[in-house]
Amino acid sequence: MTQTQAGTVAERRPATPPGTPAGRPARGPGRRLPRGNYPAGFAALLWLAVVVIPLYVLVISTLQDRASYLENGPLSLPTSPSLDSYQRVLEGEFPRYLLNTLVVTVSCAAIAVVLSVTVAYTVVRNRSAISRRTFQLFLLGLAIPSQAVIIPIYWLITELQMYDTLMAVILPTAAFSLPVSVLILVGTMRDIDEELYESMALDGASQTRILLQLVVPMSRAGISTVGVFAALGAWNGFLFPLILTQSQENRVLTLGLYDYIGEYRADIPALLSAVVLSIVPIFTAYLFARRQLINGLMGVGGR
Amino acid sequence: MSRHSARADAVSVPHAGRPGLAWAIPGVLFFLVFAAAPMVLVGYLSFTDWDGLGSPSWIGFDNWSRLWNDDGMRNAVWLSVLLTLCTWAVQTPIALLLGVWAAGRQRYRAVLSAIFFLPLLASSVALALLWRTLFDPNLGLAADVAEWFDLETADLLGSSRGAFIAIVFVASWQFVPFHTLIYQGGARQIPRSLYDAASIDGAGTVRQFFSITLPQLRNTVITSSVLMVVGALTYFDTVLILTNGGPGDATRILPFLMYEEGFRTFELGYASAIAATLVVIATGVSLLLVRLTGFTRMQSTREGL
């Protein structure tokens, strides 16, 4: 796929802004040095404020105690900052929700990776009409909104006797992450050189060995992107757990947060602490998996 | 297609290490059962009467004729269209500007981009909870803002128009980073030589933006717009938590109406008809957008380079 190739070429480009957008007119012809772009820079600073202020209020509010939040509002610096509100949340059901979410996230990522690797391998390497149709099927799947099919899925899950289990959340969530995963991996696997396949085939390698020793190592970047995306989608998913689970023991984080609206009606610092606690694991993961996430998303625009 | 496979077609040894279709079967089956079959089933269910407990019973076109005459449905369609247009109009200029700006490879731009990205990581639920707290007219940030600007009321979510604006704002706040990244990726692929040639010809930054950047980003704009449209038609988490469809029915968009009919009043047949409408509208709008803009012809924006 050209997008990944162009992407790597772009990486090697010198450090100059390729597209300096709406800004002041150039002072003269032939200016080739990178210009500062004040209007866009100003817009970026403005957006920075729009992004950072709510996040600042979020964090600062969690450090207050209930009474001082009610009295002084969200913007005031806490007079005696404390982590009590976090403690209140962690002593409740939060750890259980976190554990459930972890189970769902890891399972979804694993299912998505294994199934999309095998599907993409077939799509790329099997040249029959059926494999082309298979790819088209998954491409169509990109456009299915999960809301649109939640009722039949609810039906399916109750018929399978899986209502109110973590499995009920895992299966549809993983299925809905497949189209993007297949798309990403087909792009990555197309870039593997044909000669490598041929030399392995000449050595008499089986399909399984070619997959495990050539295709998987060569598509590591794509596979980690797929894993990260599937995990993020599962971690943040709300509709499937909302409809397909009920009891507290099978509650995931997003559903738990929704529930806290009632439970912490009078305890805003605790409510917001729960929000922070639900985000922290992803922010931490983001620090490590930033490249996979960003490259995957940027690739979308490079078509 | 990449250069590799084009060349490979010419020289490949037949059947050299080609996997059988059996490899794809688990993935395809899984996808068919949990994603594709439900698409078909939603059509079937829309012709049935079902309370979620027994089994669905066929009632023909009753749901559809009821849907056609339902004022709540008309309101929901109108709100969904309006929401789509508004979020598109708000997000596109911001994401375009930020994305092209972030495509520059200066260190500080990379740092700011990393911060811009943060809202995208959190769930819509977490963000909607945050904004719900901030919009609280008595305790939230809204109270302070109303005081600074001497506004009559701080209760944004209390008025129909205010609640709608709040949804547009929160959705944009959440998804601008995603589209910024898409534009950043697109802008980075524009050949540098185009800008060099333009500067030699004396074109200024504004001129360059409108004559090079924007036309070169045509496909990116389409991709991002399709994703925005499909996204806006399916905002549900935000609406449920921020406004619960209210006040009145001011933010009762299509997916929310479907949720209410299906899982609050348990008329799942009728809700399926709403869901099917949602599918038709989402697919229709995306196809229209793609067709109108000539995306299917797959013209390269790099032609003649």
A39 vs B220, residue with greater confidence: B220
Partner-chain residue, chosen from B101, B123, B268, that has the shortest CB–CB distance to A278: B123
Provide the strand spans (E) within chain B.
48-49, 57-58
Q: Closest to A143 (Cβ–Cβ): which among B11, B23, B283?
A: B283
Q: Which residue of A has its CA nearest to B26?
A: A115
From residue B112, alpha-carbon distances to A23, B98, B104, B106 in Å are: 19, 10, 12, 10
Question: How confident is the model over A89-128, as pLDDT tens digits?
Answer: 888 889 999 999 999 999 999 999 999 999 988 888 887 8
In a domain, B33, yes or no: no
Sequence-separated (6 or more) residues with CB below 8 Å from residue A208: none
Give the up-direction half-sphere exposure of residue B14: CA atoms within 13 A in the CB hemisphere: 1
**What distance, in Å, lies between the first and last C-alpha atoms of chain A?**
9
Q: Is residue B200 part of a domain?
A: yes
Please report the pLDDT score of residue A150 as a whole number.
Answer: 92
Residue A18, in any domain of the structure: no
Minimum-distance CB partner of B141 among A74, A290, A301:
A74
B196 CA: distance to closest CA in chain A (Å): 7
Residue A44 to residue B116: CA distance in whole angstroms = 9
Among residues B238, B227, B33, B126, the alpha carbon closest in space to that of A174 is found at: B33
Q: Distance between CA atoms of A143 and A157, rounded to whole angstroms?
A: 22
Q: Is B146 exposed, middle or buried (0-12, 13-18, 19+ CB in 10 A)?
A: middle
State whether residue A224 sits within 8 Å of chain B by CB: no
Contacts 24+ apart (CB under 8 A), B209-212: B209/A19, B209/A20, B209/A21, B209/A22, B209/A23, B209/B100, B212/A19
Owning domain of residue A61: 38-82
Instruction: With CB atoms and an 8 Å threshold, state whether A151 touches B42.
Output: yes
Is A70 strand, coil or helix?
Answer: helix
3-state secondary structure of B48: strand
Answer whether A232 touches B (CB < 8 Å): yes
B269: which 2 tokens? 């047949």
B199 within some domain: yes
> Would the CB atoms of B98 and A47 count as touching at under 8 Å?
yes
Contacts of B275 in chain A (CB under 8 A): 147-151
My answer on whether A178 and A272 are in the same domain is yes
Query: Based on the structure, what is the number of domains in chain A?
Result: 2
Residues A48 and A145 in one domain: no
A24 within a domain of the structure (yes/no): no
Domain with B134 in it: 71-297
**B112 domain-assigned:** yes
Nearest chain B Cα distance for residue A109, angstroms = 14
Spell out which residues of chain B touch residue A55, defining contact as CB-CB under 8 Å. 118
- State how far the Cα of A259 lies from the Cα of A147, in Å rounded to an integer: 20
Mutate to test the interface with B, among A3, A11, A16, A20 (most CBs of B within 10 A): A20
CB neighbours (10 Å) of residue B223? 22
**Chain A CB within 8 Å of residue B63 CB:** no
Name B23's bridge partners. Answer: none
The residues near A97 (Cβ < 8 Å, ≥ 6 apart) are A251, A252, A253, A255, A256
Indicate if A58 and A167 belong to the same structural domain. no
Question: Measured between CB atoms, which of A17, A51, A282 is closest to B115?
Answer: A51
A141 and B283 in contact (C-beta within 8 Å)? no
* Domain containing residue B138: CATH number: 1.10.3720.10
B39 reaches A (C-beta below 8 A): yes
**DSSP 3-state percent helix, strand, coil across chain B (nearest 5):** 70, 0, 25
Task: Examine the pLDDT at A251 and tell me if it is beyond 90.
Answer: yes
Amino acid at A223: I
Task: Tell me, yes or no, whether A269 and A292 share the same domain.
Answer: yes
DSSP A81: -
Q: Within chain B, which residues score under 70 in pLDDT?
A: 1-17, 293-305
Q: What are the backbone angles phi and psi of residue B205, rounded to the nearest 5°?
A: -60, -45
Asked if A24 and B279 come within 8 Å (Cβ–Cβ), the reply is no
A22 and B28: CB-CB below 8 Å?
no
Q: For A270-288, what is each residue's pLDDT tens digit?
A: 889 999 999 998 888 888 8
CA nearest to B252, candidates B71, B46, B68, B72: B72
**Which residues in chain B are closer than 8 Å to A260, comparing Cβ atoms?**
129
Please check the confidence at residue A5 and state whether its pLDDT lies above 80: no
Give the max Cα distance, chain B: 77
CA separation for the pair A216, A225 (Å, rounded): 13
Q: What whole-number distance in Å separates Cα of residue B112 and Cα of residue A160?
A: 48
Asked if A19 and B141 come within 8 Å (Cβ–Cβ), the reply is no
pLDDT of residue B241: 92
**Domain boundary pick from A82, A107, A139:** A82
The continuous run of DSSP H or E covering A106 comes out as: helix A94-125
Q: Which of A31, A44, A118 sits opposite B24 (nearest CB)?
A: A118
Query: Residues 267-296, chain B: which have Cβ within 8 Å of A?
Result: 268, 271-272, 275-276, 278-279, 282-283, 286
Give the position of tokens 């509010």: A61
Q: Nearest C-alpha of chain B: how many angstroms from A12? A: 11
Tokens representing residue B56 in the block: 């669905």
Of B203 and A75, the one with more pLDDT: B203
Whole-angstrom CA distances from B202 to A32, A285, B196, B212 are 10, 46, 10, 13
Is the CB of A262 inside 8 Å of chain B's CB atoms?
Answer: no
Question: A57 and A160: one domain?
Answer: no
Contact A235 B123 (CB under 8 A): yes
Do A183 and A214 reside in the same domain of the chain?
A: yes
Rounded Cα gap, residues B50 and B54, in angstroms: 7
Residues of B within 8 A of A279 (CB-CB) are 121-122, 126
Closest CA to B234 of B250, B255, B259, B260: B255
A32 within some domain? no
Q: Do B39 and A238 touch (CB under 8 A)?
A: no
Asked if the Cβ–Cβ distance from A238 to B220 is below 8 Å, we say: no
Does residue B54 belong to any structural domain of this protein? no
pLDDT at A21 over 60: no
Please report the pLDDT score of residue A35 as a whole number: 53
- Is the Cβ pair B18, A5 closer than 8 Å? no
Q: Looking at the domain assignment, is residue B167 inside a domain?
A: yes
Q: Which residues of A touch B213 (CB under 8 A)?
A: 19, 21
Residue A168 and residue A53 share a domain: no
B282/chain A closest Cα distance in angstroms: 8
Are A243 and B23 an interchain contact pair (Cβ–Cβ within 8 Å)? no
Q: In chain B, how many H helices and how many E strands? A: 17, 2
Nearest CA to CA, how far is A116 from chain B (Å)? Answer: 7
Is the four-CA dihedral B10, B16, B17, B19 of positive or negative sign? positive
Q: If you search the block for the tokens 């339902």, which residue do you land on?
A: B70
* CB–CB contact B104 A70 (8 Å): no
B16·A198 Cβ contact <8 A:
yes
Same domain, A246 and A106: yes
* CA pair distance B270, B209, nearest whole angstrom: 49
Mean pLDDT of A28-33: 37
Give yes or no: residues A95 and A128 share one domain: yes
Give percent of chain A above pLDDT 90. Answer: 25
Q: What Cα–Cα distance (Å) separates residue B67 from each residue in A72, B62, B74, B261?
A: 49, 8, 9, 12
- Report the pLDDT value the prediction gives residue A263, as an integer from 0 to 100: 85
Which of A:66-105 have CB within 8 Å of B? 69-70, 73-75
d(CA B183, CA B177): 10
Compute φ and ψ for B137, nearest 5 degrees.
-65, -20
Which two three-digit tokens encode residue A225? 């992107």
- Quote the CA–CA distance of A180 and B134 in Å, as a whole number: 34
> Under a CB-based contact definition with an 8 Å cutoff, are residues B193 and B200 in contact?
no
Give the model confidence (pLDDT) of A145-184 as tens digits. 888 889 999 999 999 999 999 999 999 999 999 988 888 8
CB of A216 within 8 Å of a chain B CB? The answer is no
- Which sign does the torsion angle of CA B49, B285, A298, B179 carry? negative
Compute the distance between CA of residue B129 and CA of residue B123 in angstroms, rounded to an integer: 10
- In-domain check, residue B177: yes
* Pair A71, A135 in one domain: no
pLDDT of residue A282: 86
- Residues in Cβ contact with B14 at an 8 Å cutoff, skipping those fewer than 6 apart: none
Q: How far is B160 from chain A (nearest CA, A)?
A: 22
Peptide bond preceding B247 in cis form (omega within 30 of 0): yes
Question: Which tokens in the block code for residue B30?
Answer: 């899984």
- What is the rounded radius of gyration, in angstroms, for the C-alpha atoms of chain B? 24
The total domain count for chain B is 1
Q: CATH number for the domain including A275?
A: 1.10.3720.10
What's the CA gap between B75 and B81, in Å, rounded? 10
| Closest residue by Cα to residue B25 from A114, A206, A162, A230 | A114
Strand partners of residue B48:
B58
A300 has a pLDDT exceeding 80: no
Angle (nearest 5°) at CA A248 between A242 and A254: 45
pLDDT band of A203, cuts 50, 70, 90: confident
Q: A78 and A95: one domain?
A: no
Q: Is residue B205 part of a domain?
A: yes
Is there a domain that residue A33 lies in? no
- CA dist B74 and B67 (Å) reads 9
State the Cα–Cα distance between residues B139 and B141, nearest whole angstrom.
Answer: 7
Whether residues B223 and A175 touch (CB distance < 8 A) is answered with: no
My answer on whether A70 and A172 are in the same domain is no
